[in-house]
Structure 1
Amino acid sequence: MKTPKKMTLFLTFSCMLFAAAVFAQGDKANRPSPPAKATGKVGAANITIDYSSPSVKGRKIWGELVPYGKAWRAGANEATIFETSSAIKVEGKDLPAGKYSLFAIPGEKEWTIIFNSETGQWGVKKGGDANLDRAKDVLTVTVKPKKSAAANEKLAYVVDKSGFSLKWENVEVPVAVK
């Protein structure tokens, strides 16, 4: 039995579309919150922050999209990764060289920054809570947010000689590193 040419053409075209869709899923740059990286040097330590960068898109971020008092993956998609090549002091507390998931608990006047030893996980669990196992916390520090000098449409991290900052919407969260 012969397959009609139109059916063969249709099946071939359908398979090509399906294959293109599958490969497009693997391209993280096409996500609504694309991957981003911040790098810099603090003393002898090379610091890298790998994260996904969501946009404000007219939404109220702090206290609404990202609730106060609840652990947050400090970005979008997979949990944010913080890596340091040397031991450092974060807000005066020791953090060994290594790779950590970075989480935050935002507050209006104070934030908790969490360095966790579990890496590679998706940033949130099925119910929407941060995918954070608090038993694997290596370091937590408290910092003060401030109003940013300019609005930031996309979430961004900046690493400089004094530490790193998270900047998004109208908030900047500096974290001192030595």
Structure 2
Amino acid sequence: MKKIFVVALGIMLCTGISNLQAQNDNSETPNFSKLDASPMDLALYRNQENEPMARIIYSRPQKREREVFGKLVPYGEVWRTGANEATELTLYEDMKVAGETVPKGTYTLYTIPEEKEWTVILNKKTHTWGAYEYASEEDFVRINVPVRKAPNNIEALSMAFEQVEDGANLLIGWDDRYIKVPFKESM
């Protein structure tokens, strides 16, 4: 009985090693990349009739005990408002942003953070990496919004739409602060 057990154990070990080698053979196994340090996310705003009105796609950098605003994200400089590719906003219908009608379409959302106020920019140039290709002549809308104190620490940059009468506020928060960008449905 003891010999059968030892033989069976030996066969199982050899089979396991053989399977492990097959899994490590790159010619047979797809090469999946590691999870991005700043994973991509999106937020969607739907109106009362559940129709999509706006979508934002962005990458979510993590705080990781770093000083975010004024250090990692410098004050007074154009920021891609996330990591990796610049943040992309798609409007499925014409919307008003600070009284300015913005036609449906896709825009890059940049910000210029300051301590008490941020400038929010909708720019016509899309599919850009970071803020390296930012050109102010492509700005469609610029508005200033106040910085608010977050009730909790926000570890990863986060965006969400908050439904309000006739539209939504885009909430952008990270670390200990957030802003609201007002979008109104264009009538």
- TM-score, normalization by structure 2: 0.76
The one-letter amino acid paired with 1:86 is: E
Aligned-pair identity in percent equals 32
Report what 1:16 is aligned to. Answer: 26
The one-letter amino acid paired with 2:83 is: A
Partner Cα distance (1:79, 1:66) in 2: 14
Larger radius of gyration: 2
Report what 1:73 is aligned to. Answer: 80
Q: Secondary structure at the match of 1:57?
A: coil
For residues 79 and 57 of structure 1, do their structure 2 counterparts lie closer, same or farther at Cα, with a shift above 3 Å needed?
same
Long gaps (5+) in structure 1: 1-11, 126-130
Partner Cα distance (1:173, 1:42) in 2: 21
Report what 1:112 is aligned to. Answer: 119
The one-letter amino acid paired with 2:74 is: P
The alpha carbon displacement at 1:177 in A equals 1.3
Pairing partner for 1:39 from 31, 38, 44: 44
Report what 1:6 is aligned to. Answer: none
Kindly indicate whether the alpha-carbon contact (under 8 Å) linking 1:42 and 1:177 is maintained by their aligned counterparts in 2. no
Kindly indicate whether the alpha-carbon contact (under 8 Å) linking 1:42 and 1:163 is maintained by their aligned counterparts in 2. no
Report what 1:7 is aligned to. Answer: none
Instruction: Work out the number of aligned pairs and report it.
Output: 156
Whether 2:150 is the aligned partner of 1:148: answer: yes
Larger mean CA deviation between 155-164 and 67-76 belongs to 155-164
Partner Cα distance (2:139, 2:109) in 1: 10
Pairing partner for 2:93 from 86, 92, 117: 86
Aligned alpha-carbon RMSD (Å): 2.2
Long gaps (5+) in structure 2: 1-21
- Identify which of structures 1 and 2 has the higher relative contact order when contacts are C-alpha pairs closer than 8 Å and 6+ apart: 1
Report what 1:166 is aligned to. Answer: 172
Q: Secondary structure at the match of 1:76?
A: coil
Partner Cα distance (2:88, 2:118) in 1: 18
Kindly indicate whether the alpha-carbon contact (under 8 Å) linking 1:83 and 1:99 is maintained by their aligned counterparts in 2. yes
Larger mean CA deviation between 160-169 and 101-110 belongs to 160-169
